Chain A
Amino acid sequence: MSNLRVLLVDDEEEFVTTLSERLSLRGIETEVAYNGENALAKMNQITPDIVILDVMMPGLSGLDVLKQIKEILPDIPVILLTGRGSTRDGIDGMKQGAFDYLMKPVDIEDLIKKMNEAMKSR
């Protein structure tokens, strides 16, 4: 679990900063981005192990960002978060190469479990 670097992308700052802090408490290194453009820029700087990506964002949507990540760094697993609770967003994302999807609000233990699964599958 240690030395894991995660990029959190969500337009809800309160959500993303809090989640970041909680993951840090569990020894996971996090970077945050509040929109798609910012996320893609950070991708080039830090090269994370996993990306946690919200689907519904203004500007570049989560699925757009996913597409571009898969173009530049196809090996990095992406876990999608969806607020719409719709399996369709998740399934669309998985078709485009996302590892899996979780519905908001998400339990942090579930998220960590999913991240571990993603790392193992790498």
Chain B
Amino acid sequence: MPGIKERFSKWTRIGTSDSLYNDDPPQKHYDRLRRNLMIIIISMAIIPMILMAIINYHQYRNAIRDETIKPIQSQLTNLKHVLDIFLAERKSSLNLITNSYDFEEINDQAKLIKIFMVLREEFKEFVDIGVIDSSGLQKTYVGPYNLRGKDYKDQGWFKEVMVRNEYISDVFMGYRRFPHFVIAVKRDLHNGKFWVIRATIDTAKFNRIITSMELEPGSDLFLINQDGILQTPSRYHGKVLDKYPLSMPVLTQISSAVVQERYVSKGYRTLIGYACLDIKPFILIFIKKPGEIMKTWFALKSELFWVLFFSCILIIGATYGIVKTLVRHIQESDERRGTALREAQYANKLASVGRLAAGVSHEINNPLAIINEKAGLMMDIIERNENFSEREKFIGLISSIHRSVDRSRVITHRLLSFAKRMDVNLEDVDLADLLKEVIGFLEREAFHRNIDLRLNFDPELPGIISDKGQLQQVFLNIITNAFEAVENGGMVHITTSIKDESNVQVIVQDNGQGIPEQYLPHIFEPFFTTKKKYGTGLGLSITYGIVQKLRGDLTVQSKEGDGTTFTVIIPIKSKPDLEGGDHV
């Protein structure tokens, strides 16, 4: 998972990093972790679900479509065959006539009437019949109109029948003023000539066959020709000879019917079935608004969609909640770990410095003792020898050696107290008396430097049980620091108060130079000093150590140029951290 490795390296870096205080992973790291987890978990949950939904969708759709489409398909195919047979029968009957009679026989009006009567007995829809010779002239005609002698020579159908031997026309109105169509059949003669028998058929029967299908409401069934002209009336798609309003189906050569689901207009869905007749390229069109079965399909489809939709919402919601909680826990534990690491590291730093300090001060104390004794012996000898010419000078030199030894001793002893080899002696302490004692050391300096030293002691302050000597050192350090921070004529303000039922606090406030912000996190670290010449960098570190050992707290607020405030919180009853004092 991205991010983990980065975080790991970040943590491992802590060991070597100097920036003790800025090692928490940034917020954007957790945002990224949260986002990645969300993406992974959601996609792992949703993708298979969507795949399943798609598969189910197709299976259901195919099943339901088969249930709906198959009957339509077979109905259409049957109807197509009926219509084919209808046309084939009419055509065959004419073929029978041409094959049964010679031109001379049929060219007889009486004979033709007789034939037509027979024909009408069989097929009522025959309207008229005529015989045309090879020149295109209608020689004989039986029917309601006087069409004898009509010349068909230049008409398209006559040319087609000459080539194809037979012809079935589209439905047309003609001057008969009702929809009908024409069947013509050619008979060849031996001398290269031919004759044609032409009959007109009323489409009413045609229409009856189609209407006999007993359509459901909302369905439509009709014939169109290749040009999309309606050959039979339709319920919803126009009258005979109107243009078919929908797009033409793409015709296939298969003889069975084809049923398609189509969007006719926006969102309006229909089933369209079509079948092409064999005898004549009429197209049988079936249009059905999706009925009850398809309604269940649409209901199922929307059900499927809503189930999917709410599952997704649920998954996303749950994942969001889980990931949010998870990442928050990770972040909290990281932060806790970071704090613990920093504290442990700080303690380690203090401990190792302490060990070093103890070792170093011991090694130095022994030679220092020798120097001290040698110088002391020299002093003893010179003091006992009043004739020594350079006496005064030597006494000065030796005093200087003694002072240096004392200074070194102060440093080594401080190092050792830093190493926390100090014992806590608990006793009753009056904090006000203790502070006055400490201030007593500094009163002369305050007087000389004209420092405005203000004391504001809470008279209600309870006596505390703590280590008097250690507390003296704490306040001596802090107040000395304040004195060093202020200019001559500056202000140092010491306030005591009750912090809460188990703690008291002492606030030492000065209006001195303040501590630069970048130093603030480090001022309690050992060997951190800004007093380059004089400081050991141990004063505040020791102070901090003592306050910690007395189970108190030491905090600092400072603004460069405005001054510094140290707040020492001391428990009214200290239980010293004995462990802390002995492990170095």
Once the chains are docked, how many angstroms separate the CA of A83 from the CA of B368? 10
Asked whether B373 is an interface residue with its Cβ less than 8 Å from the other chain, the reply is yes
A14 near B370: Cβ-Cβ < 8 Å: yes
Shortest beta-carbon distance from A110 to chain B in Å: 11
Task: Among A22, A84, A104, point to the contact of B358 (Cβ < 8 A).
Answer: A84
Once the chains are docked, how many angstroms separate the CA of A61 from the CA of B365? 17
A84 with B416: in contact, given A15-B369, A15-B370 (CB under 8 Å)? Answer: yes
Shortest beta-carbon distance from A18 to chain B in Å: 4
Asked whether B413 is an interface residue with its Cβ less than 8 Å from the other chain, the reply is yes
A22 near B362: Cβ-Cβ < 8 Å: no
Using Cβ atoms and an 8 Å threshold, which residues of chain B touch A18? 370, 373-374, 376-377
Interface size class of A (residues with CB under 8 A): 20 to 34
Quick one: which of B382-436 are within 8 Å of A by CB? 384, 405, 409, 412-413, 416, 421-423
A104 near B366: Cβ-Cβ < 8 Å: yes
Asked whether A103 is an interface residue with its Cβ less than 8 Å from the other chain, the reply is yes
Residue of A nearest to B379 (CB): A22
Asked whether B372 is an interface residue with its Cβ less than 8 Å from the other chain, the reply is yes
Using Cβ atoms and an 8 Å threshold, which residues of chain B touch A41? none
Shortest beta-carbon distance from A8 to chain B in Å: 11
A87 with B421: in contact, given A22-B376, A108-B376 (CB under 8 Å)? Answer: yes
A87 near B376: Cβ-Cβ < 8 Å: no
0/1 string, A99-121, CB within 8 A of B gives 1 = 00001111110000000000000
Using Cβ atoms and an 8 Å threshold, which residues of chain A touch B370? 12, 14-15, 18
Using Cβ atoms and an 8 Å threshold, which residues of chain B touch A15? 366, 369-370, 373
Shortest beta-carbon distance from A62 to chain B in Å: 13
A83 with B365: in contact, given A91-B423, A105-B409 (CB under 8 Å)? Answer: yes
0/1 string, A70-96, CB within 8 A of B gives 1 = 000000000001011111100100000
A87 near B365: Cβ-Cβ < 8 Å: no
Asked whether B140 is an interface residue with its Cβ less than 8 Å from the other chain, the reply is no
Task: Among B358, B369, B405, point to the contact of A86 (Cβ < 8 A).
Answer: B358
Asked whether A64 is an interface residue with its Cβ less than 8 Å from the other chain, the reply is no
0/1 string, A14-32, CB within 8 A of B gives 1 = 1100110110010000000
Shortest beta-carbon distance from A6 to chain B in Å: 15
A105 near B380: Cβ-Cβ < 8 Å: no
Asked whether A40 is an interface residue with its Cβ less than 8 Å from the other chain, the reply is no
Q: Report the count of interface residues on B (CB-CB < 8 A).
A: 26
Using Cβ atoms and an 8 Å threshold, which residues of chain B touch A60? none
Using Cβ atoms and an 8 Å threshold, which residues of chain B touch A107? 372
Asked whether A43 is an interface residue with its Cβ less than 8 Å from the other chain, the reply is no
Once the chains are docked, how many angstroms separate the CA of A112 from the CA of B423? 26
Asked whether B330 is an interface residue with its Cβ less than 8 Å from the other chain, the reply is no
Shortest beta-carbon distance from A54 to chain B in Å: 9
B416 near A19: Cβ-Cβ < 8 Å: no
B369 near A21: Cβ-Cβ < 8 Å: no
A22 near B377: Cβ-Cβ < 8 Å: yes
A104 with B368: in contact, given A84-B358, A87-B422 (CB under 8 Å)? Answer: yes
Once the chains are docked, how many angstroms separate the CA of A91 from the CA of B425? 13
Using Cβ atoms and an 8 Å threshold, which residues of chain B touch A21? 377
Once the chains are docked, how many angstroms separate the CA of A26 from the CA of B358? 34
Shortest beta-carbon distance from A35 to chain B in Å: 15
Using Cβ atoms and an 8 Å threshold, which residues of chain B touch A19? 373
B380 near A22: Cβ-Cβ < 8 Å: yes
Asked whether B340 is an interface residue with its Cβ less than 8 Å from the other chain, the reply is no
A85 near B423: Cβ-Cβ < 8 Å: no
A104 near B365: Cβ-Cβ < 8 Å: yes
Using Cβ atoms and an 8 Å threshold, which residues of chain A touch B362? 56, 83-85
- Measuring CB to CB, which residues of chain A are less than 8 angstroms from any residue of chain B? 12, 14-15, 18-19, 21-22, 25, 56, 81, 83-88, 91, 103-108
Q: A12-B369, A84-B362, A105-B409 are in contact. List 11 more A-B contacts (CB 8 A).
A: A12-B366, A18-B376, A22-B376, A83-B369, A84-B416, A87-B423, A103-B365, A103-B409, A104-B365, A104-B366, A105-B365
